[in-house]
A and B are shown apart, each in its own frame.
Chain A
Amino acid sequence: MRKTIYIRTLFIMICILFIFAFFSICIGRFSSNPVDVYHAILGKLGLEPTADEGMEVVLFSIRIPRVFASMMIGAMLSLSGAVYQGVFRNPLVSPDILGVSAGASVGAASAIMIGLGIWERQGFAFLFGLLAVGLSTTISKLMRNHSNLMLVLSGIIVGGFLNSLLAIMKFVADEQTELATIVFWQMGSFAEIDMQEVVAIGPVLFLGSVLLIGLSWRINILSFGEVEAKIVGMNTKQIRGISIACASLLTASAVSICGTIGWIGLVIPHLARLAVGSDHVKMIPVSALLGAMFMLFVDTVARALLTVEIPLSILTGIIGAPCFAWLLYKQRATVS
């Protein structure tokens, strides 16, 4: 894709994202009238007296944090999905492949069972998610086999084990309080997000994306294969290690904030490839933008469509799976 076309595409996407975000803050169960939003903003800035306190709270404590959070989390998950797919040379890979989500679920469930608060729950989820990845990479190191296949298999082992642990915890949990909380957490939701958390993940997203976009050209080379990368003098172990570490950090942070959300890390990179080609230099930033857009859309539906809060995994699955089927159909000629 020509550079000029790419820059234009990027620009258009950013504009669309802003427009989406603006629409999103005007929609919700409390009121979907943009005029109310306008007055609430003016009220908060002190330019006019607060007309509706409820609207102000809704806008600043609920909608705006959620809009930011969903965009950021969508970007983080898609970014890490794109990187994992490139590093593992497999377009069917999702960020869960090394067990991040399973680990985070176990962490969150532990916190819930011990009765800790939301911050601790997130901390546990984050830590356990990273531990799971660490375990997968350690297993493959112990097997003295650094190939991609070995990593994937280790990820399956660790993920499987952690999922069984989770099942035990669900079994022991109290049906009415703990179990419901664990299950709902797993299904993914931005319901409890507030501005503090948004500010906390900001640096993670920033650092992670800077690093990964910086490495995106090297990921191109990695995606050719181990031999091809080595013969141009690349330190494959180092680059792979940094990429996986960054992507895992992004995923673990995302999952710890809002629970496990499937499909985004798998499908969005494919959409990005359809739009701008497989060159990771172009496709990684586009993945992030598309992911932000998609997550924003999904979360807006999750909170505004019905009285009840629809878990995010349900929506991403309902939209993501047919999307993936359509993508496969389009690319069926290239699937061997």
Chain B
Amino acid sequence: MIIEVKNMSFAYEGAPLLFDNISFSVGRGQIVCVLGPNGTGKTTLLNCLANLSIPTKGRILIDRKDTEKMSPQEVAMNIGFVPQFITPSFSYEVLDYVVTGCAPTIGTFQKPKPEHFEIAQESLKQMGILHLAHKYYNQISGGERQQVSIARALAQRPKVILMDEPTAHLDFGNQIKVLRIIKSLAAEGYGAVITTHNPDHALLLGGDVAVIHPSGEFIFGSCKDVIREDFLSSLYGVELHLCHLAEIERDICVAPSL
């Protein structure tokens, strides 16, 4: 167990509780997909895990250590985060962008050393985009940018990678590519927690599913257990169809004819 979430609750100032008393854990090679309609707190959950927001109640443990007692750098060395939107105001070279992932190990007044650049290049290689190293960020496509963001998170050498809707702004082909990358990262031993709007993607990834129901209920379990037709239909408020396609040997979740 790398990350353990114990009885976590969160409410924005002056607002009712977003989620209450959540507990789950993420281990090596484990993929967790967080499903749920808009506004239920998926991104907030990720933010709490990434130490960007402080939970109102409860604790998060990383390797048995309470995050409250850890410095932000320590947390960053364990958890990588790929946000949904990245809009840099200035255009940097991809390599310079990725090397910022090494920041937790670089002193406040120091600059990255050659070894850090090596780490950055390795991350790019891992993502298969080493050829983009010296291109400028504003010259690459959306899909490539997503991959660069993941590379940056990898440069942190984290144990778990959090991704906020990684497929949201990608074309269909790139969506599948990113899902493949997540699958292979998990195979390499990284833990992954991703939020997604598409239950079919959760099925593609396999792994565990967490759902924050609008009613406030938190459900956690394996794909097979949580993803059921009636449950999903009530969650999203539309009819959804679950079936098994023999020719590709997987379960799929689709909408019926309009």
Contact = CB atoms under 8 A, between A and B. Distances in A.
A210 to B, nearest CB: 9
Contact of A220 (B100, B108, B110, B138): B100
B236 interface: no
B223 interface: no
B74 interface: yes
Interface stretch (B86-94, B118-126, B195-203): B86-94
A224 B77 contact: no
A-B complex: 3 closest residue pairs judged by Cβ atoms = A233-B76, A214-B109, A278-B90
A227 B96 contact: no
Chain A contact residues (Cβ within 8 angstroms of B): what range?
20 to 34
B86 A233 contact: no
Contacts of B50: 231
Interface in B59-73: 71-73
Interface in B131-165: 138, 156
A89 interface: yes
B75 interface: yes
Contacts of B93: 277, 279
Contacts of B110: 214, 217
A240 interface: no
Interface in B82-106: 83, 86-93, 96-97, 100-101, 103-104, 106
22 contacts: A86-B90, A90-B89, A214-B108, A214-B109, A215-B109, A217-B110, A217-B112, A220-B100, A223-B88, A223-B89, A223-B90, A224-B88, A224-B97, A225-B87, A228-B83, A231-B76, A232-B156, A233-B75, A233-B76, A233-B77, A277-B93, A334-B91
Given A224-B100, A228-B86, A217 B111 contact: yes
A214 B158 CA distance: 26
A268 to B, nearest CB: 15
Contact of A221 (B75, B80, B86, B103): B103
Contacts of A220: 92, 96, 100
A32 interface: no
A279 B81 CA distance: 23
Most A CB contacts (10 A, CB to CB) among B83, B103, B112, B156 go to: B103
Contacts of A217: 106, 110-112
Interface of B: 50-52, 71-77, 80-81, 83, 86-93, 96-97, 100-101, 103-104, 106, 108-112, 138, 156
Interface string A199-239: 00000000000010011111011011101101111110001
A273 interface: yes
Contacts of B86: 224-225, 228
A152 interface: no
B90 A91 contact: yes
B161 to A, nearest CB: 11
Given A217-B112, A224-B100, A281-B111, A232 B76 contact: yes
Contacts of A91: 89-90
A235 B96 CA distance: 20
Contacts of B52: 227, 230-231
B98 to A, nearest CB: 11
A239 B108 contact: yes
A234 B89 contact: no
B107 to A, nearest CB: 9
**Residue from the set A214, A218, A239 with the largest chain B CB neighbour count within 10 Å:** A218
A214 B87 CA distance: 25
A86 B88 CA distance: 11
